[in-house]
Amino acid sequence: MSEYPWFDFDQVDFVTADTHFSHTRISELASRPFTTVDEMNTELIRRWNETVGPTDVVLHLGDVALGPIEESIRLTAQLHGRRYLVPGNHDRVSPATQSRKAIERFAPLYEAAGWTILPEVIEGTRRGYRLLASHYPYKGDSQESDRHTTHRPRWDDGIPLLHGHTHARDHGPNGHQFHVGVDAHDYAPIPFTVIDAWIRELPDVEPWLDVAIREARRLIADFDTTETSNSDALFYMMGYNELRITLEEILGALDSTKCPEENRHRTEGHVDGS
């Protein structure tokens, strides 16, 4: 069962975070190689549009722009692609730092510039793997202590998480977390295929469908070994038999849909390696 609002990660072509358009001090604070804010804005737009096509889908994990917000958000209308925004603490639509009234006031500015605003934490699947995305990591910050802890995803329970916020420059992947901020990725969005490869290489992560099938089969096994009193036996068995038949049908259907997909991946791997 999903704990957070569901999002279709399969539609996404690129992911990024922490552009900080028009933030006058970000080059100083994050050691960016720009001498003026205008130079940074121009270069961020150039690198984005050289990477992203007009019809590509981009997921931005927060802190789009600062400064005079009407001007800085209007600047982002120049960016290519269909753009989704998971708000960060510096966004004027962030529940972590803004009142509901402020969010209602500023949301139209973001929408007019082409942004679709999403919740603070989103959950979904990507190529069959379960995935979370948020501005915030499970743990970590650009400052000494973790801020906005009540707005972060739950504790790290093994689900891969995409995030920004830290402005770390020396890595993207870190355990079950992957930092997608521009400071770690040459100041441009990164292809989601990079994320796909990272997820497949995680040793303790498996496709969500495999997990669901295993848990369903465990549930059936538990039913088989559950003892009931004589008075409840008939009622229990009638309901159990119907549930078991339904579960078996679902599992059979899921297995049948998995096989073509697995065979396709094997075929692609064989072709790539030939």
Domain map of the chain by residue range? 6-201, 208-273
User: Helix (H, G, I), strand (E, B), or coil: what is residue 68?
Assistant: coil
Mean pLDDT, residues 212-217: 72
Check pLDDT > 50 for residue 156.
Answer: yes
C-alpha 7/C-alpha 132 separation (Å) is: 9
Residue 83's CB is within 10 A of a number of other CB atoms, namely 24
The pLDDT confidence band at residue 263, using thresholds 50, 70 and 90, is very low
pLDDT of residue 218: 74
In this structure, are residues 77 and 65 in contact, taking their beta carbons and an 8 Å threshold?
no
Task: Tell me the whole-structure pTM to 2 decimals.
Answer: 0.78
**Which amino acid appears at position 99 of this protein?**
S
The residue among 112, 54, 110, 53 whose CA lies nearest residue 86 is: 110
**Whole-number pLDDT of residue 236:** 62
Tell me the one-letter amino acid at 235: F
- Tell me the C-alpha distance between 22 and 212, whole Å: 45
**Who has greater pLDDT, 223 or 263?**
223
Residue 221 above 90 pLDDT?
no
Q: CB count, 10 Å around CB of 46?
A: 13
Per-residue pLDDT band for 267 (boundaries 50, 70, 90) equals very low
Q: Which amino acid is at 203?
A: P
- The residue that leads in pLDDT, 150 or 197, is 197
Proportion of the chain above pLDDT 70, given as a percent: 77
pLDDT digits (tens, 9 = 90+) for 9-32: 999 999 999 999 999 999 999 999
Q: What pLDDT sits at residue 258?
A: 56
- DSSP, residue by residue, 166-205: S--SS-SEETTEEE-BGGGTTTS-EEHHHHHHHHHH-TT-
CATH of 6-201, one of 3.90.230.10, 3.40.50.2300, 3.20.20.100, 3.60.21.10: 3.60.21.10
> Which H or E run includes 8?
strand 6-8
- pLDDT value, residue 272: 42
Distance, CA of 204 to CA of 194 (rounded, Å): 18
